[in-house]
Structure 1
């Protein structure tokens, strides 16, 4: 019986892996520019972390988590998102006491959600995310947004739209919550079962419902903007003013609530082109109560997460090819048995000097070896045969312009390094 890959997962083959490596390298480059440090957390955590951190009224917790018991009868879950794990690590390792504050962190890694697979939505997917813990400065909100936009622009995307909203502080959210309950309650029987369950627990989540999004009451629902108190309003105005000063365009969307319970104040999404339509590429926002919810001190926080799979779809739509570096610096072509004996020695010499080098291992003819060098996108080909061994010199061919030179074996490394 042939064993196949589980539904909702995928293999990244070598020809595609170079794209992923390029994207991840750009993510790390941008984070370095903004002084964000990498953090790596476990792929599975206590189930309680996500129930408390993500929120038990969310689709993620109610329907999508991969949860299981281990041999010690402990409840564990494959992480469905990255923020809760980062905050757990922040609390557990007392990073709030570190001298450098705020803590500016980023992560890249797989997440898992049991949902219906479709384009840009898999059961295992990869997120790049950033979190800033410890600062309530509106300029940090703007910085996080600027970082995300810088990443997409460095990749090459042009069809981007930033959408903003504010969910306000707890006082503002409480007033808005009561207004939402009063608005939806008389007709809640017309909504899906999930919305009915959320009415009293978290009515804001009703606005994020995919099934009832066309219901007339959605359009007329009370807007959070009308319930922002003075402090929340002033905070959001400062964020917008900083973005204006940076020259970052945005649109305001009072219906933007995001899908996780921990958000407050600034929320945002970046939209992009995907298969002919506009879709959400990433989202994020402020979560000032999450650290204390997970056992730490009262600490402000803000962050975002984006899907690399959705980014790849957007690149296809905009017809953007990621420039892949040449996979090899040089490829050794050996002609004859004595040369075959010399080739591994040369390869080791080149590799020890930091050059990416390879040779044929399939007993191909000379023409076949050159074709293999082309397929590997080698920048130089080193040819050795009986004549070259006698002269202790190799023929070095530049694959870009076709020129070639005879170079002594003991000078090969320096010659190639100069050319490269």
Structure 2
């Protein structure tokens, strides 16, 4: 019986993985410009981190986590998102005591959620995310949004829409919470069981329900915007001012609700407007999470961050027919004639590679014509041919595959010859 890949996962093969390399490199280079530093956390954490950090009323905790008991009887969960582990590390490693504040971090790695697989959505997926901890300045919110937007723009995406909202501070949220309970309670029996359970615990989650999103009470639900106090209004207005100053177009959507419990003040999503992208248009989501560090045992620390899926980003690039500028081909293919020349190319190949060139040779004892065909398939810029006569005369023939020009080069200066080429 054959063993197939688990549902909701994918093999990223040569020819495709190079796109991932480029995106990851762009993300790292951009983070360096913004002074965000990489943090690598474990792929699994104690389950309690996500229950306390993400929220026990969220779909992630209730339905989507891969949770198991290890041999020591501890409940362990494969990380479904990156923010809670980052904040856990921030607290545990006492980064709040670092002299440089705010602490600006990014992560890049696999996450796991038991969801229904569909286009651009997998059960194992890769997230890139950035977090800034230690500042209450709305300018850092604008910076975080700018970082995400600029990654998409640097990769060539144009059909983007940024949507922002304010969830307010604790006082604003409490006032809105009471209004939502009063709004939904008389007819809560018409909603799904999840919404019924969320009414008292976190009624804001009802607005994010996928099953009941068309219910008439959803359309008339109280808007958080109407319950923002003066401080929250001022914060949101300042954010909008900074986004305008950064020439970042945006729309205010008072119905925007992020899917995690820890958000307050700023919430945002970046969406694709590309035709044919699909029903799920969100590329990136994020927001402010003041109090999350305190919830998992640390000091009260403000924070803001985002996460985006690399798979969704690739789907958006396809939807806009954007071809990434990938470096293709190799610098040199070493072809040989005869056993003695074949043996000599082993060391020659190593010398080329150690000098910084991408190079390859034949390992199947193919005829010279077949070796040239292999060089063509590899898109070799040069083919160097070594035979019995060349070896005897301490020479090697080098052919430029784009111009057809051939030169004879001293074997002892072969690597130096390549170092003088503009490759």
Matches within 5 A, 1:5-404: 5-272=5-272, 273=274, 275-277=276-278, 279-404=281-406
- 1:329 is displaced (CA, Å) by 2.0
Deviations 1:34-67 (A, max 9, x none): 1111110000000000000000000000000000
Question: What is the TM-score normalised by the length of structure 1?
Answer: 0.98
**Separation in 2 of the partners of 1:215 and 1:408?**
80
Q: Which whole-Å deviations, capped at 9, do the CAs of 1:241-286 have from their partners, x for residues lacking one? A: 0110111100111111110000001111110137344600010000
1:393, 1:130 → 2: CA distance?
54
Shift in alpha-carbon separation, 1:18–1:216, aligned structure 2, 3 A: same
Contact 1:326 1:378 (8 Å CA) reproduced: no
* CA displacement, residues 195-238 of structure 1 (integer Å, 9 cap, x when unaligned): 11111110101111111111111111110100011111101111
What is the CA–CA distance in structure 2 between the aligned matches of 1:122 and 1:274, rounded to whole Å? Answer: 22
Distance 2:329 2:77 in 1: 38
Task: Indicate the SS of the match to 1:14.
Answer: coil
Q: How many residues align?
A: 420
TM-score by length of 2: 0.97
Query: Does structure 1 retain, via aligned residues, the 8 Å contact 2:277–2:315?
Result: no
Q: Residues of 2 paired with 1:54 and 1:403: CA distance?
A: 63
User: Is the contact made by 1:326 and 1:379 (CA closer than 8 Å) also made in structure 2?
Assistant: no
Q: Which moved more, 1:132-141 or 1:404-413?
A: 404-413
Segments of 5+ residues of structure 1 without an aligned counterpart are none
Partner of 1:22, secondary structure, is: helix
SS of 2:118's equivalent in the other structure is coil
The answer (yes or no) to whether the contact 1:275–1:314 under 8 Å persists in 2 is: no
Give per-residue Cα distances to partners, 1:101-127, cap 9 Å, x unaligned: 111111110000011111111110000
Secondary structure class of the residue paired with 2:15: helix
Q: What's the CA shift string for 1:157-196, capped at 9, x where partnerless?
A: 1111111001010000000000011111111111111111
- Greater shift in the superposed pair: 321-330 or 2-11: 321-330
Distance in 2, Cα, partners of 1:399 & 1:306: 41
* Structure 1 Cα separation of the partners of residues 329 and 297 of structure 2: 47
Q: What SS does the aligned partner of 1:328 have? A: coil
CA RMSD of aligned residues (A): 1.2
Aligned mates of 1:219, 1:401 — CA distance in 2: 66
Task: Indicate which of 409, 416, 419 corresponds to 1:417.
Answer: 419
Given that 2:317 and 2:323 are in contact with CA atoms closer than 8 Å, whether structure 1 keeps it comes out as yes
Q: By how many angstroms is 1:335 displaced? A: 1.7
Counterpart contact for 2:334–2:349, Cα < 8 Å:
yes
CA distance in 1, matches of 2:283, 2:351: 45
